[in-house]
Amino acid sequence: MASNLSAAPDFRLTIPQSDKRRPIFFTATIRKSSIKKRLPISCNSSQSSPKTSQNLKESPNPKNPSLSDQLKPLSATTLSTTKDQRTHLLSKPKSTWVNPTKPRRSVLSLQRQKRSPYSLNPKVKELRLFAQKLNDCDSSSESAFISLLEQIPYPLTRENALLILNSLKPWQKAHLFFNWLKTQNLFPMETIFYNVTMKSLRFGRQFELIDNLANEMVSNEIELDNITYSTIITCAKRCKMFDKALEWFERMYKTGLMPDEVTYSAVLDVYAKLGKVEEVLSLYERGVASGWKPDPITFSVLAKMFGEAGDYDGIRAGKPGLARSLFEEMVESGLTPNEKSLTALAKIYGKARWAKDAMELWERMRSNDWPMDFILYNTLLSMCADLGMEEEAERLFEDMKRSEHCRPDSWSFTAMLNIYGSGGNASKAMELFEEMSELGVDINVMGCTCLIQCLGKARRIDDLVRVFNVSIEGGVKPDDRLCGCLLSVVSLCEESEDANRVLTCLQQANPRLVALVRLIEDEKTSYETVKEEFRAIVSDTAVEARRPFCNCLIDVCRNRNLHGRAHELLYLGTLYGLYPDLHNKTVDEWSLDVRSLSVGAAHTALEEWMGTLSKFVHRKKELPEIFSAHTGTGTHKFSRGLANAFASHVEKLSAPFRQSEERAGCFVATRVLRSGNWISSTSKIKFNSSTVKIL
DNA sequence: GTAGGGTTAG
């Protein structure tokens, strides 16, 4: 086949814009350079320079499938792609893939790149000492470093140079040494010298230097091997330059080099970090179809992705199930899961609220004597916190105390504080706090937040104030979440004296927020004033704490019977984008989603919504058949109680919503066509139960 | 950190 490099098609992977949110497989297209309507995979894609592209000896030879080809939807090749079948595929890859008449092209090399054998260097000790001297010399002076280098008391053979290069840190020194070596012309600079230098540069996150070195290799026709590519790719990944990582992966394919499993799993992780779940699964499945048996590291990459991709408050998205199938497959194939694989899985089970699987996993870990480290212990404790498994957490915590290398640290204590906190066990949480001071384990801002939340719910304001003060003295820097937590306690306080004591704590952490509370409490404050101060504070607050701030402020108002102000705040929250998915309207159904709202904010939102409906009725505008309000089922520990509170509020308003039997966590009312006679009274709309059919 | 891949919260 004639190969004309300049006319070679652009094989960059592209995803049609309209397909970005498709649940199953995206469509990859091989784009000719003239077609520009597609989105590149990265938002900031940079093309390699023409010079390096040519030097890479890229070939359109179909034996070297491009990444785009790897990612073609399986439906276009041999597999159907429904979720059920995928789960089956993951558990029985071989039987699904056998196709003797048309074997699939391999996408990765099953043989991991061999390293050159380590030759024993008789001068290893002395050379290490010399390298240490180089490491110790003044980093700011290049000339001092070079002159010291020139005093090397040993012949600078290839092996000696490699040993020194390997021992130099930080990256600046390794880089200097490497550049100096090149000027000495003592021996040819082979791939391994570049690889070792690149690894050092990676520690310094010096992607640009690595990129330069890689291009230099291409120019000088020094072979780039799998170790080179995986180092480049992981450096780009660590620098969050995902487009560069993928670009180098593409370049590797184009030169005809097959990735081995290390490079391949590094790339899977790049896609995982980009949130491109379907692409990861596609690559994974193709790898398996090539005969690859993924190892525990690949499992961790996939499992971590599943853990982050799941919509855990929604319909569960099927991802935890895939992680479980993969895990079982891995164990069945004879691999022993390690600490990191187990950490990833424990995290998923916790987030997915899969208590039974979590318990079984733990039993298996114990009976099989699978490895544990302190991160795994801490993750298991967090999992117990997610699942409310207090006794199991206590057992684990005791295990840690008895262990030699996994003594509880501030993470472990925080997890325990979270467990006692979410279980409402303020006494045990306080015992833990005392234990921490005895053991000299400092409480951190997260532990402090959990404990204060717990003490606030138990109305133990004395303890709360003490914990806050001790934490501040111990160096805790309050963040926005801790402030939100204090504000939520303020909203719970029935006695103004208690509220004021908590506000005194909050004053130290966020005086402006306290000033806002004072403003909104004062009925004389104008809406415009509240709006301006609210906007200023929200824009200054961490994104994840903005909505909680607004929720709490609304709660404060409601608890002080300042309903008008609560409505103003809900409006402001909506105005500034804190409640983006609150309302949804289709022709047939109008819905209100209050899952991310506090009880007070949810009440306010319902009143607001019904007020709007009332206006529609008055104006005789067309109404949908169904009205629904989503409170969630309360499976998440922070959303418990919302459904109950909502139910009683609905009853108080005599609104005809009832919990739906078919749709969990959903209140539904429906309009009766024959009448449509909606009656409103005073400020609230009343759905007359004689005219409204209740589902 | 002895040429390459993956781990922890409120």
Whole-number pLDDT of residue A74: 39
In angstroms, the CA A255 to CA A339 distance is 37
Is A356 within the bounds of a domain?
yes
Backbone angles phi, psi at A412, to 5 degrees: -65, -45
In angstroms, the CA A578 to CA A570 distance is 9
Average pLDDT over residues A408-415: 94
C1’ B6 / CA A327, Å:
14
In angstroms, the CA A634 to CA A2 distance is 64
C1’ B9 / CA A317, Å:
23
Whole-number pLDDT of residue A550: 96
Average pLDDT over residues A228-249: 96
CB neighbour list of residue A656: distance below 8 Å, 6 or more residues apart: A669, A687, A688, A689, A692, A694
Whole-number pLDDT of residue A252: 95
* Smallest CA–C1' separation from A450, nucleotide: B10
Is A10 within the bounds of a domain?
yes
In angstroms, the CA A482 to CA A479 distance is 5
In angstroms, the CA A566 to CA A602 distance is 11
C1’ B9 / CA A56, Å:
45
In angstroms, the CA A104 to CA A108 distance is 12
Confidence of residue A83 (pLDDT cuts 50, 70, 90): very low
Number of folded domains that form chain A: 4
- Tens of pLDDT, residue by residue over A345-393, are 998 888 888 888 888 898 899 899 898 899 999 999 998 988 888 999 9
Whole-number pLDDT of residue A621: 84
Is pLDDT of A12 > 90? no
C1’ B9 / CA A393, Å:
14
Is pLDDT of A29 > 60? no
Is A398 within the bounds of a domain?
no
- Please, what's the b/e burial string for A554-583 (b: 16 or more CB within 10 A of its CB; e: otherwise)? bbbbbbbebbebbbbbbebbbebebbeebe
Cis status, amide bond into A16, omega within 30 of 0: no
Q: How far is CA A609 from CA A17, A380, A385, A684, in A?
A: 34, 42, 35, 10
Say which amino acid occupies A375.
I
Do residue A539 and residue A636 come from a single domain? no
Task: Let me know: does A271 contact A279? Beta carbons within 8 Å.
Answer: yes
Domain finish residue from A329, A364, A399: A364
* Smallest CA–C1' separation from A344, nucleotide: B7
Which residue is closest to B7 in terms of CA–C1' distance? A340
Q: Which of A86-100, A369-383, A471-485, A566-580 is predicted with the least confidence, judged by mean pLDDT?
A: A86-100
In angstroms, the CA A142 to CA A586 distance is 69
Backbone angles phi, psi at A86, to 5 degrees: -65, -45
C1’ B9 / CA A447, Å:
9
* Smallest CA–C1' separation from A385, nucleotide: B9
Whole-number pLDDT of residue A313: 53
Do residue A592 and residue A571 come from a single domain? no
**pLDDT top residue among A95 and A278:** A278
Backbone angles phi, psi at A342, to 5 degrees: -70, -35
Average pLDDT over residues A334-349: 90
Which residue is closest to B2 in terms of CA–C1' distance? A166
Backbone angles phi, psi at A592, to 5 degrees: -125, 120
C1’ B2 / CA A199, Å:
11
* Smallest CA–C1' separation from A115, nucleotide: B3
Whole-number pLDDT of residue A596: 86
In angstroms, the CA A403 to CA A412 distance is 13
Say which amino acid occupies A654.
S
**pLDDT top residue among A615 and A2:** A615
List protein-proximal bases of chain B (any atom < 7 A from a CB).
Answer: 1-10
* Smallest CA–C1' separation from A230, nucleotide: B4
User: Residue A330, exposed/middle/buried by CB under 10 A (0-12, 13-18, 19+)?
Assistant: buried
Do residue A591 and residue A688 come from a single domain? yes
- Terminal CA-CA length for chain A: 68
Confidence of residue A72 (pLDDT cuts 50, 70, 90): low
Whole-number pLDDT of residue A671: 67
Is A624 within the bounds of a domain?
yes
Whole-number pLDDT of residue A413: 96
* Smallest CA–C1' separation from A166, nucleotide: B2
Whole-number pLDDT of residue A564: 95
Average pLDDT over residues A622-641: 71
CB neighbour list of residue A145: distance below 8 Å, 6 or more residues apart: A134, A137, A138, A139, A173, A176
Is pLDDT of A637 > 80? no
Q: Is A402 left (phi over 0), alpha (psi -120 to 50) or beta?
A: alpha
C1’ B5 / CA A149, Å:
34
Is pLDDT of A478 > 70? yes
Average pLDDT over residues A165-177: 94
In angstroms, the CA A452 to CA A480 distance is 14
Domain finish residue from A36, A66, A96: A96
A14-23, A52-61, A229-238, A574-583, range with greatest mean pLDDT: A229-238
Q: On the CB side of A232, how many CA atoms lie within 13 Å of its CA?
A: 26
Is A536 within the bounds of a domain?
yes
Say which amino acid occupies A205.
R
C1’ B1 / CA A445, Å:
32
* Smallest CA–C1' separation from A200, nucleotide: B1
Report the share of chain A in percent with pLDDT over 70. 79
Average pLDDT over residues A641-646: 75
Q: Which residue has tokens 């072979």?
A: A223
- Tens of pLDDT, residue by residue over A522-551, are 999 999 999 999 999 999 999 999 999 999
In angstroms, the CA A309 to CA A77 distance is 26
In angstroms, the CA A449 to CA A544 distance is 15
Say which amino acid occupies A471.
S
State the Cα angle at A554 between A578 and A533, rounded to 5°. 70
Do residue A312 and residue A341 come from a single domain? yes
Nearest to A535 by CA among A552, A521, A554, A549: A549
Strands (E), A310-394: none
Confidence of residue A15 (pLDDT cuts 50, 70, 90): very low
Do residue A563 and residue A592 come from a single domain? no
Average pLDDT over residues A471-477: 94
Confidence of residue A575 (pLDDT cuts 50, 70, 90): very high
Average pLDDT over residues A638-660: 73
Is pLDDT of A47 > 60? no
C1’ B2 / CA A152, Å:
20
Confidence of residue A318 (pLDDT cuts 50, 70, 90): low
Whole-number pLDDT of residue A49: 32
Which residue is closest to B4 in terms of CA–C1' distance? A227
Do residue A609 and residue A683 come from a single domain? yes
Average pLDDT over residues A81-104: 41
In angstroms, the CA A604 to CA A568 distance is 10
Whole-number pLDDT of residue A27: 20
Do residue A621 and residue A547 come from a single domain? no
Do residue A609 and residue A516 come from a single domain? no
Is pLDDT of A404 > 90? no
Q: How far is CA A196 from CA A55, A128, A167, in A?
A: 23, 16, 10
Mean pLDDT across chain A, nearest whole number? 80
* Smallest CA–C1' separation from A238, nucleotide: B5
Which residue is closest to B10 in terms of CA–C1' distance? A446
Whole-number pLDDT of residue A294: 87
Is pLDDT of A129 > 80? yes
Is pLDDT of A146 > 50? yes
Q: Which of A83-97, A234-248, A636-650 is predicted with the least confidence, judged by mean pLDDT?
A: A83-97
| A527: Cα separation from own chain's centroid | 38
Is pLDDT of A20 > 90? no
User: Residue A164, exposed/middle/buried by CB under 10 A (0-12, 13-18, 19+)?
Assistant: buried
C1’ B2 / CA A211, Å:
23
Whole-number pLDDT of residue A102: 53
Report the share of chain A in percent with pLDDT over 90. 50
Domain finish residue from A43, A71, A96: A96
Q: Which of A35-44, A196-205, A408-417, A515-524 is predicted with the least confidence, judged by mean pLDDT?
A: A35-44
Is A326 within the bounds of a domain?
yes
Average pLDDT over residues A418-431: 93
* Smallest CA–C1' separation from A297, nucleotide: B6
**Secondary structure (3-state) at A525:** coil
Is A56 within the bounds of a domain?
yes
Whole-number pLDDT of residue A672: 52
- Tens of pLDDT, residue by residue over A241-288, are 999 999 999 999 999 999 999 999 999 999 999 988 889 989 999 999
Q: What's the domain range around A12? A: 5-96
**pLDDT top residue among A1 and A460:** A460
Do residue A621 and residue A543 come from a single domain? no
Per-residue HEC secondary structure of A190-231 comes to CHHHHHHHHHHHHHCCCHHHHHHHHHHHHHCCCCCCHHHHHH
Do residue A571 and residue A587 come from a single domain? no
Do residue A685 and residue A589 come from a single domain? yes
Q: What CATH number does residue A631 fall under?
A: 3.30.1370
Whole-number pLDDT of residue A566: 96
Q: How far is CA A54 from CA A13, A233, A243, A430, in A?
A: 20, 20, 20, 67
Is A650 within the bounds of a domain?
yes
C1’ B4 / CA A36, Å:
35
**DSSP output for A63-130:** TS--HHHHTS-GGGTT----HHHHHHHHH-HHHHH--TTSPPPP-S-SSPPPPPPPPPPTTHHHHHHH
In angstroms, the CA A387 to CA A302 distance is 23
Whole-number pLDDT of residue A174: 95
Which residue is closest to B6 in terms of CA–C1' distance? A297
In angstroms, the CA A213 to CA A224 distance is 11
Is pLDDT of A589 > 60? yes
Task: Let me know: does A343 contact A376? Beta carbons within 8 Å.
Answer: yes
Say which amino acid occupies A25.
F
Average pLDDT over residues A490-506: 94
In angstroms, the CA A353 to CA A387 distance is 6
**Secondary structure (3-state) at A559:** helix
C1’ B7 / CA A241, Å:
22
Do residue A516 and residue A562 come from a single domain? yes
